[in-house]
């Protein structure tokens, strides 16, 4: 969230009460600890591991960005930096132009009156969905064009994404964690998901 992080934290505390942020941060850390354990349990060869990160633009400064965000306390980015330190390949994942467009949407929403946020127009919801779809397609194309045949890709991204729908058929997809409320689109039987 970059410069919006402070505003997001304040809004979260205002909505959920004092102490809620610490509980939220502990839950997020627990989630990332669990993800790290699942990755470690796979015993993946770092030399054949290609890392793709939600929000990481194709720019030539990908590792610097990851390390800067990791230094700010992001457990996601700390895990990515650890994997890179172990020999994994970090790949710029997203279109800078699409990320900038989404950032502008988030800024507009964050600076709107709170009542306006609850009553987003159908047009703004459609625009957000269209932008997410464009990002998913870009990410899928990026993975398809950079992941070697003998490589293993590890994609870190938010649950609202559906990149798997746009990947080349030659790429076998497994999910590391349940997609929570989105799991029905992935699991026809509602059973447990495979780890990647």
User: pLDDT tens digit string along 45-97?
Assistant: 999 999 999 999 999 999 999 999 999 989 999 999 999 999 999 999 999 99
Higher pLDDT, 116 or 8: 8
Q: What confidence category does residue 179 fall into, taking pLDDT thresholds of 50, 70 and 90?
A: low
All structural domains of the chain with their residue ranges:
46-186
pLDDT of residue 118: 47
The mean pLDDT of the chain is: 83
Residue count of the chain, please give it.
Answer: 196
Q: How far is the C-alpha of 42 from the C-alpha of 175, rounded, in Å?
A: 12
C-beta of residue 50 within 8 angstroms of C-beta of residue 152: yes
Residue 138 Cα to chain centre, angstroms? 14
Q: How far is the C-alpha of 134 from the C-alpha of 161, rounded, in Å?
A: 10
pLDDT of residue 181: 43
pLDDT of residue 112: 65
Higher pLDDT, 193 or 31: 31
Rounded average pLDDT over 13-23: 82
Cα–Cα distance list, 55 to 23, 99, 103 (Å): 25, 7, 10
Pick the most confident of 86-90, 155-159, 168-172: 86-90
pLDDT of residue 4: 59
pLDDT tens digits, 24-42: 888 888 888 988 999 999 9
Higher pLDDT, 15 or 86: 86
**Looking only at Cα atoms, what is the longest distance across the chain?**
51
- The closest alpha carbon to 136, from 108, 107, 152, 159, belongs to 159
pTM of structure:
0.80
Residue 39 Cα to chain centre, angstroms? 16
Q: What confidence category does residue 113 fall into, taking pLDDT thresholds of 50, 70 and 90?
A: low
Q: How far is the C-alpha of 132 from the C-alpha of 140, rounded, in Å?
A: 12
């Amino acid at each position: 969230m970059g410069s919006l992080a402070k505003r997001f934290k304040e809004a979260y505390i205002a909505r959920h009460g004092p102490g809620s942020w610490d509980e939220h941060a502990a839950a997020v850390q627990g989630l990332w600890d669990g993800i790290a354990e699942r990755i470690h349990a796979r015993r993946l060869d770092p030399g054949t591991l290609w890392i793709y990160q939600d929000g990481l633009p194709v720019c030539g400064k990908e590792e610097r960005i990851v390390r800067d965000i990791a230094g700010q306390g992001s457990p996601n980015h700390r895990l990515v930096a650890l994997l890179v330190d172990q020999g994994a390949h970090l790949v710029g994942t997203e279109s800078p132009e699409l990320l900038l467009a989404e950032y502008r949407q988030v800024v507009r929403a964050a600076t709107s009156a709170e009542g306006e946020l609850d009553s987003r127009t159908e047009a703004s919801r459609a625009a957000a969905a269209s932008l997410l779809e464009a990002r998913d397609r870009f990410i899928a194309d990026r993975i398809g064009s950079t992941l070697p045949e003998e490589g293993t890709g590890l994609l870190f991204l938010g649950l609202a994404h559906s990149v798997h729908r746009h990947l080349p058929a030659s790429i076998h997809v497994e999910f590391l964690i349940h997609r929570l409320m989105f799991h029905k689109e992935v699991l026809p039987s509602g059973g447990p998901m495979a780890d990647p």
